[in-house]
Structure 1
Amino acid sequence: MITRTQLVGAWSLESYTETDVQSGEVSYPMGRHPEGLILYTFDGYMSAQLGSGRRDRFKGQDPYGASSEEYTAAGRSYIAYSGPFYFDESNGRLEHEMFVSFFPNWQGQRQVRIAAIDDDRLHLGPDRPMPFNGRLKTASLIWKRALPNS
């Protein structure tokens, strides 16, 4: 069992895999070297930002002035959401509530995560398969505790 205190802090994304429920095929939706941070605060908030380690930059400097193709590529290589988190130490149940989300359909949802900590690694995944790229898949994310920023 993990404790809330162990969970609090900053974690850097080390790996993100998805396993197709029907075929068992493992894929790397953000590539083999994804980038990201997940943060848990003492006052009960969290933020997850993850993306492909190789994202193309927009041609211009205006974040609202990109082409449809640029927005599509950026959207397919990034996941982000933030909001309150709830952790019940007695049963290890972790829930992320999406106050804001890059994927609008998640906004307002509460999703359960299976969580385990092994030394300085946080293992997270949803409690059930979810639709990704048109198939039901289970996701597995491994986060490494981030070094203090000094």
Structure 2
Amino acid sequence: MSITDFVGTWRLQSVETRKEDGSLHRQGKRKGYLIYSPEGYMGVSFMKEGRTEFASGDIRGGTVDEKIEALNGYISYSGRFEVKDDKVIHVIEVSLFPNWIGERQERFYSFEDDTLTLSTPLQLVGGMMLSSHLVWEKVRD
């Protein structure tokens, strides 16, 4: 596989998250997009469906609880990407979670027709070691 196999816009279809022991960890339905460019850049954003709006309507004026809920229900990062063997590597330059900036995050991948599945290695999420399997469908419309 090469970069050209990844190029395009992908819509999130499903997320399955598993604990270290292999048991399923339920997190609710997600909605999002993943974009790979021919120049070797990528960006991903996805969120928990049904997030609560800030009562004030002010993008910076939410309460502490509103901000915590908004942050916990959203993931976004972008940067360069590389394809090596059975992995795509996201070289993170911009991220909602500042700890990821500068990281090289590996994802195992598989393609089937217009579907791309990305799987993460175990990582610390909410105090638990979790692995996620995200299924993306190529946007054709």
Q: Same fold (TM over 0.5)?
A: yes
Letter in 1 for 2:44: A
> Aligned-pair distance for 1:28?
3.2
Corresponding residue of 1:120? 114
Structure 2 spans left out of the alignment, 5+ residues: none
Contact 1:121/1:144 (CA < 8 Å) preserved in 2?
yes
Q: Choose which of 67, 70, 78 in structure 1 pairs with 2:66.
A: 70
1:37-63 Cα shifts (integer Å, max 9, x gaps): 000000010001011111111112221
Task: Tell me if the contact between 1:16 and 1:28 (Cα under 8 Å) persists in the aligned partners.
Answer: no
1:59 matched to 2:55? The reply is: yes
Indicate yes or no: 2:10 matched with 1:11.
yes
Q: Where does structure 1 differ by over 6 angstroms across 4 or more consecutive aligned residues? A: none
Matching of residue 140 in structure 1 with residue 133 in structure 2: yes
**What is the one-letter code of the residue matched to 2:81?**
F
TM-score (norm 2): 0.94
Q: Distance in 1 between the 2:110 and 2:17 partners?
A: 18
Which digits, 9 at most, give the CA deviation of each residue in 1:107-139, with x for residues without a partner?
Answer: 11111110111111110012x211112111111
Counterpart mapping for 1:85-96 below 5 A: 85-88=81-84, 91-96=85-90
How many residue pairs get matched? 141
- In 1: Cα distance, 2:119 partner to 2:92 partner: 16
TM-score computed with the length of structure 1 as normaliser: 0.88
Aligned pairs (5 A) from 1:23-102: 24-29=22-27, 31=28, 33-88=29-84, 91-102=85-96
CA apart distance, 1:78: 0.5
Report the residue type matching 1:123 in the other structure: T
Select between 42-51 and 128-137 the one with higher mean Cα deviation: 128-137
Partner of 1:106: 100
Contact 1:38 1:48 in 2 (8 A): yes
Structure 1 gap segments, 5+ residues each: none
Q: Identity over aligned residues, as a percent?
A: 30
Distance 2:26 2:35 in 1: 22
